[in-house]
């Protein structure tokens, strides 16, 4: 899609990344047509490079951000042509921030499992956040940008910090727009995970259709619960094999809610091994002592989708992390 030269739009700035010092001035940004459907908070994160997510939510809640002259919520879906007022935000000199450690950059380079002109797929390690913020200096996207200076890299989706596996990053705006549209469609992207569930799951495929609601605990920590007031959520659990009294499963999700697999697993009485938020303390302790499981056993293994209106199929795979393979071997 061809965009007009922003110099021909006096009084408006194009929706492109701005230098850090521009964040200290009030700006009105017109949303390009190819960003229709993007959430306001994600749009702002793209405009205010380096801003923590908590700051973005703060300026939205306080009414400093306006869409077409009115207040808006962070989850509002923008439309092409919307005008977004972005208040002055002092992010400091990004040059003062320490660069990601060389060891992390080397590990991420080795973790790229697929790349072409439009996207790259990372086998994200457990313990690495998808993006920085809330005290996290270097998330996956910030580190990849440091690894590839000068490239435009944008997160297509997120994974929990403790979940390993496929994280897709768009290298072109057109790819980001198409992939995010597929994310919103039922069945637009097929997502499969590998997980170790505690206890003996029944044979066959168990469909868990349970709405999920995000609440906040003291201190602002997100905690998700099955709640009739929540959003529709559907997961399918299939036992691949049983090891040491536990159930090694493939999980296919039709919706992508926060902590969906973890909460659905807890809901059916078989929480994910190593889950310190929704899991069983005693079971986690036994697995840590007996087979060395020190992390959440949840891995995003496969993504399948097609770009170019279905003409270009992709099947992305990320191998199970070595420490999880070791756990399975010890359980046998």
Q: Which residues are catalytic?
A: 160
Nearest of 143, 138, 137 to residue 105 by alpha carbon: 143
Q: Where are the alpha helices (DSSP H) in the chain?
A: 40-47, 53-61, 102-111, 140-147, 173-184, 260-267, 281-291, 322-331
The phi and psi torsions of 33 (rounded to 5 degrees) equal -60, -30
Which run of H or E residues covers position 83?
Answer: strand 83-86
State the pairing for strand pair 298-307/164-170: parallel
Collapse the DSSP code of 195 into the 3-class scheme (helix H, G, I; strand E, B; otherwise coil) and give the result: strand
CA distance 317 to 60: 37
CA distance 79 to 57: 20
Q: Running DSSP on this structure, what letter comes out for residue 108?
A: H
CA distance 96 to 35: 31
Nearest of 209, 212, 242, 233 to residue 224 by alpha carbon: 212
Are 130 and 256 spatial neighbours (Cβ–Cβ below 8 Å)? no
CA distance 74 to 71: 10
CA distance 33 to 40: 14
CA distance 131 to 13: 25
């Amino acid at each position: 899609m061809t965009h007009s030269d922003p110099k021909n739009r006096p009084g408006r700035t194009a929706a492109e990344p701005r230098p850090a010092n521009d964040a200290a001035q009030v700006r009105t940004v017109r949303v390009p047509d190819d960003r229709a459907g993007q959430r306001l908070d994600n749009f702002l994160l793209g405009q205010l490079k380096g801003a923590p997510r908590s700051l973005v939510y703060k300026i939205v809640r306080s009414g400093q951000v306006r869409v077409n002259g009115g207040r808006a919520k962070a989850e509002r879906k923008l439309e092409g042509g919307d005008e977004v007022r972005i208040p002055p935000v002092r992010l400091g000199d990004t040059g003062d921030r320490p660069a990601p450690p060389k060891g992390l950059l080397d590990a991420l380079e080795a973790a790229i499992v697929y790349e072409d002109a439009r996207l790259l797929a990372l086998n994200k390690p457990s313990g690495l956040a998808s993006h920085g913020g809330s005290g996290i200096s270097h998330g996956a996207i910030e580190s990849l940008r440091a690894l590839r200076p000068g490239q435009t890299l944008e997160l297509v989706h997120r994974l929990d910090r403790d979940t390993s596996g496929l994280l897709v990053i768009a290298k072109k705006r057109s790819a980001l727009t198409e992939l995010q549209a597929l994310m919103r469609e039922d069945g637009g992207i097929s997502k499969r995970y590998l997980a170790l569930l505690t206890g003996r799951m029944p044979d066959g495929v168990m469909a868990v259709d349970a709405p999920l609601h995000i609440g906040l605990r003291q201190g602002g920590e997100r905690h998700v619960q099955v709640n009739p007031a929540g959003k529709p959520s559907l997961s399918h659990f299939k036992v691949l094999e049983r090891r040491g009294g536990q159930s090694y499963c493939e999980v296919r999700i039709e919706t992508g809610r926060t902590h969906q697999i973890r909460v659905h697993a807890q809901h059916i009485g078989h929480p994910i091994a190593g889950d310190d938020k929704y899991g069983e303390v005693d079971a986690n302790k036994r697995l840590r002592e007996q087979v060395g499981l020190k992390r959440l056993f949840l891995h995003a293994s496969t993504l399948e989708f097609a770009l170019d209106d279905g003409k270009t199929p992709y099947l992305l795979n990320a191998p199970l992390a070595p420490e999880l393979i070791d756990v399975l071997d010890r359980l046998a």
